[in-house]
Structure 1
Amino acid sequence: MEPQAPPATHEITNQVPPLEHYNLYECDPTLRAAVEREGAAWHAPSLALDGAMLGKPEVIALAGAANRHEPELFTFSPRGERIDTLEFHPSWHRLLALLRHEGLHALPFDTPRSGAMAARCAGYFLHAQLESGSLCPLTMTFASIPVLQREHMLFAQLAEKLFSREHDPSDAPLARKRSMMVGMGMTEKQGGSDVRTNQTRASALGAASGRGAEYRLVGHKWFFSAPQCDAHLVLARTGTDAPISCFYVPRYTPDGTRNAIRVQRLKDKLGNRSNASSEVEFAGAYGIMIGDEGRGVPTIIEMANYTRLDCVIGSAALMRAALVQAIHHARHRVAFSRKLVDQPLMRNVLADLALETEAATVLFMRLARAFDAHLAAGRTGTAESDAERAWRRIVTPAAKFWVCKRALEFTGEAMEVWGGNGYVEEGPMARFYREAPVNSIWEGSGNVMCLDVLRALERDTQGAHALLAEWRADAQGSPALVAALDALQASLAAPPEEREAGARALAQQLVLCAQAVLLLRAGLNDHAQAFIATRLATSSTGGSCGRVYGTVPATFDHGALIAHAFNA
């Protein structure tokens, strides 16, 4: 008998086509309006071109490939030489090349003009929707520039390679490279976020000591991000009881030999798999002190302030990426004889998710303006206004706490829209979900951020008063928002111990008030009122306490909120 073909069991129907060939910038009205509002309209054409490129299937595929093919550590050469080198998949280098080509590692510094920080933040937001791991070395390089600029002799040697828009993946002495990346090394086994417990020692190489002098470092770092970078900013002590100083530690020493930085192992992380994080030991590593001796923590905190802003943007981007995937799925998938997007309860969930992403977008873009004002004040020698300083110093750590926290629940909810298909690794939703916790942990966990908010409020009462006065002026048409600001004011007046115990609630209330005000300022009145009703007002939906997504009152047009969020 001749072999028979197996019978066809069914044809494939009702499966959602992949989301591709769309423009990440053009389909986001909230971002486009914020770019205009925050002074970066001059960069909009570049953002539109970049948004179209990022929606191409061959570019989207880079993200999956970079996370499937993880970096590999080679401790020794075939001849037994200690090399501590890493090998990355070509997709990783392609992602970094795309980021660098757009100037996202240096734009406000190599193009110092009005709105440059807002332009950079908008571009970073677009790329962060594609892949998260490649952002880490780029963010640290970006954040190192304002710190290194204070070291005039050192920066003169590095500026060209820091500003270069070409990604150079080679592992070679800096003199032979076209560009460079900079990382950071703060945490140690015994301390984690408590960097003042660090024990790494630095000894002067010659008679000279202090700022600009050469040192040898002996010690370890428990989390040493992107060990393939061309240099790291590292914390160490110049004596057993000496305060901590900051050091520029290059991958290669001035004579071209590999620095004595021993990579012990790569971290096996939950997410962020495309990026290498490591444990290292310094076996007499060469370094140069930057900043004043004993002022290492304030020196590197300046770097951390910029990386914390990028944590906000990165989490907002994860939410945006998950949202557009969820809306796209709902517009194509049929269940119970109707498309998901036409079903009232699903529309409510998607509308609620859309409100969350819009609020996060207007927030990080407003923070970008505050950082722009800070950079402009530095260039001109003028002072920041009280309100701009408060946005940067007080709202940034609060935003880092809240937006990064929201990404965890958000990505899980968006995954649920996909159902079982969202839970498998073939699609992007599982990767988004695994990426979500990293920004909440990195650069200071939630508690650290909330305590930073308290310290900032205590140190800058004038800025806090200016900020609240500004918000009250915007809230006059919304009794619920006025009441929320009253509650925030009462929290600020609580006794110190009570204020510390309630720091998370205070930071949450502060961010929610800021987001509501910004939605009103953006002219998104219906969106603002829905946000206030579900996040700030005491109502049958439970307000912001213990709520789940999908509780936007039926008095709001859920379909219009979804259509505005993703108009592709």
Structure 2
Amino acid sequence: MTHDTARCRLATHTVTNQPAPTGDLDFLALDIPLQEALTRDAPTWVDQRLAPLGADVGSTAMQTLGELANRYPPELQLFDRYGRRLDEVRYHPAYHSLMHLAFDNGWHAVAWQEEANGGHQAHIAALYLLTQVEPGVCCPFTMTHAAMPALRHQPDVLSEWAPKLLAWGYDNRPLPAADKSAITMGMAMTEKQGGSDVRAATTMASPDAGNGYRLTGHKWFCSAPMSDAFLTLAQTDDGLGCFLVPRFTPDGHRNAIEIQRLKDKCGNRSNASAEIEYRQAWCQAVGAPDRGIATILEMVQQTRLDAATAPAGMMRQALLEAWHHAQQRHVFGQRLADQPMMRMVIADLALEVEASLALVMRTARAFDSPDDAHEMALARLLPTLAKFWHNKRNAGFMAEAMECLGGIGYVEETPLARLYREAPVNSIWEGSGNVICLDVLRVLTRHPASIDAVMQELDTARGMDPDYDRTIEELSRLRGAAPDILEQRARWLTQRLAQALQASLLLRHAPRAIGHAFCQSRLGMASSPVYGNLPTEVPLDAILSRITP
């Protein structure tokens, strides 16, 4: 070795004041609010079955797979080497490994296999944990789970598809469903000219000469285009209908579903979203031919709860990253975790996570009570409220968590950069903010029992906090406002209902310090849109101690 070479290899510095790698973590054992929610409301089997998943998602191996799935996004292969159409989406092996984690353990099926026995609570808790590995995997997971209620509108289709839809396992091979033991399901509703206005769809469904229908048209967004079948909307002579479109026709040939391109998205990089063309694609009707929206809304009701849960999981993952960094990084002579402003910021983030988790778990419990009129009335409205508000908080949360890490939070070596890009997708998916608020107004006018049920739920915490009580009075007054006033204030109403429900749950079930701190900072006169502006009297130690045991 020459002198010059040796000089070039001398170390210029020693790495100090950087957090140690986290190593393997157990995301269930570390999550005090999740454990409390499961103990309080769920059957004991739910926590027991979730235990291995908590250890898996927090492991270094699984976290690495999440990074790889994002670094190597899916690719579209339209043709084979001989020019035959394939219309296939190819994924990195890391993505398939994460799909196995979700599907081999039956988390897509648990809500229906344990219906009315904690199944939805198990599904939502699993989704919350799986999101903390890689949210992109959760799209096909959610779609497959959510298809069941829609299929129940067509018993013959249900009997054909449900056994493999509920089967534990994951088979990514492009084969007819008859040749597979387990399948996944996607969705294709959106068209260019319609967007959220699905009644403007121009895709046409015509009766097939044999049986079923033939579809002709274009879908601007097809979620999970590698799935074995898709639920879609199309016009019939009777109105807008819902249809199941398999990847392969009953005779084993590839169906005439052509993928035009994959969307180059801001985030959600590991998951494919596509534009597709139906060229006389064969399909089966699901429900009455003029009841397509009502049928597909059975699916949307489920997916909206998942879209409310994903931001809670993402925020929890970001919170753990920020807290781990703050506990080991020293600045100006002391740990970041001991700096007054940093403690304020992270405590505020922790309150947001705990409140969001409480609301989605309470909503899942309502879904698990199909014979209880009060719970079913709650289940109609709570997913909509939670989806709107959790996603409105998510993007700002991710930006704040990045700041907790400083410059390293903005680079791809931490999960925060991809979580920040991911943050808007669930707010747009299944109805963006204004559409969601219009749905809240629709429930207010057409399903007053749901609003009554929410107000009853809120009444249970009356008298526990003055800021909370003032909020309930505000909501009661606005409920009777004129329709034009209600539409102008629909976003405020949706936000306030969601926050009030979060506050009610924390006041009743969390330690006293948590509930009152939430009410002061979200419902009180000193509330601020900026994280880290908690009132000075808030007990920070009590809040921070609940981030990890």
Same fold (TM over 0.5): yes
Cα distance in 1 for partners of 2:76, 2:192 equals 21
SS of residue paired to 1:373 = coil
Q: Quick one: which amino acid aligns to residue 60 of structure 1?
A: Q
Does structure 1 conserve the Cα–Cα contact (< 8 Å) formed by 2:443 and 2:450?
no
Does the alignment pair 1:502 with 2:489?
Answer: yes
Cα distance in 2 for partners of 1:2, 1:419 equals 38
- Deviation of residue 504 (structure 1)? 0.3
- Aligned residue for 2:232? 234
SS of residue paired to 2:313 = helix
Cα distance in 2 for partners of 1:343, 1:90 equals 43
Cα distance in 2 for partners of 1:5, 1:167 equals 54
Cα distance in 2 for partners of 1:466, 1:309 equals 18
- Aligned residue for 1:16? 19
Cα distance in 1 for partners of 2:469, 2:330 equals 43
Does the alignment pair 1:553 with 2:541?
Answer: no
- Aligned residue for 1:267? 263
- State the TM-score, normalized to the length of structure 1: 0.94
- Deviation of residue 525 (structure 1)? 1.6
- Aligned residue for 1:202? 205
Cα distance in 1 for partners of 2:287, 2:36 equals 39
Map 1:50-449 → 2, pairs under 5 A: 50-206=53-209, 214-239=212-237, 242-374=238-370, 377=371, 384-386=372-374, 388-449=375-436
Cα distance in 2 for partners of 1:421, 1:2 equals 35
SS of residue paired to 2:502 = helix
Cα distance in 2 for partners of 1:517, 1:95 equals 36
Does the alignment pair 1:563 with 2:545?
Answer: yes
Larger deviation, residues 390-399 vs 315-324: 390-399
- Aligned residue for 2:512? 525
Cα distance in 2 for partners of 1:463, 1:427 equals 42
Does structure 2 conserve the Cα–Cα contact (< 8 Å) formed by 1:327 and 1:341?
yes
Cα distance in 1 for partners of 2:529, 2:323 equals 21
Q: Quick one: which amino acid aligns to residue 234 of structure 1?
A: T
Cα distance in 2 for partners of 1:429, 1:20 equals 17
- Deviation of residue 467 (structure 1)? 2.4
Deviation readout 1:283-326 (Å, 9 max, x if unpaired): 00000111011100110011001000000110110111100110
SS of residue paired to 2:162 = helix
Does structure 1 conserve the Cα–Cα contact (< 8 Å) formed by 2:478 and 2:486?
yes
Give unpaired runs (5+ residues) of structure 1.
208-212, 378-383
Instruction: Supply the RMSD in Å over aligned alpha carbons.
Output: 1.3
Cα distance in 2 for partners of 1:522, 1:59 equals 32
- Aligned residue for 2:443? 456
Deviation readout 1:203-246 (Å, 9 max, x if unpaired): 10138xxxxx500100010000111100000100114xx42000
- Deviation of residue 490 (structure 1)? 1.5
Does the alignment pair 1:511 with 2:498?
Answer: yes
Cα distance in 1 for partners of 2:153, 2:233 equals 17
Deviation readout 1:8-33 (Å, 9 max, x if unpaired): 32111111223331110011110001
Q: Quick one: which amino acid aligns to residue 438 of structure 2?
A: L
Q: Quick one: which amino acid aligns to residue 288 of structure 1?
A: Q
Q: Quick one: which amino acid aligns to residue 390 of structure 1?
A: A
Does structure 2 conserve the Cα–Cα contact (< 8 Å) formed by 1:19 and 1:325?
no
- Deviation of residue 102 (structure 1)? 2.6
SS of residue paired to 1:278 = strand
- Deviation of residue 194 (structure 1)? 0.6
Cα distance in 1 for partners of 2:363, 2:327 equals 33
Does structure 2 conserve the Cα–Cα contact (< 8 Å) formed by 1:394 and 1:457?
no
Cα distance in 2 for partners of 1:324, 1:345 equals 18
SS of residue paired to 2:296 = helix
Cα distance in 2 for partners of 1:227, 1:478 equals 49
2:523 to 536, 544, 566: 536
Give unpaired runs (5+ residues) of structure 2.
none
**Which consecutive segments of 4 or more residues in structure 1 shift more than 3 A?**
1-4
Larger deviation, residues 41-50 vs 136-145: 41-50
Aligned length: 546
Does structure 1 conserve the Cα–Cα contact (< 8 Å) formed by 2:116 and 2:369?
no
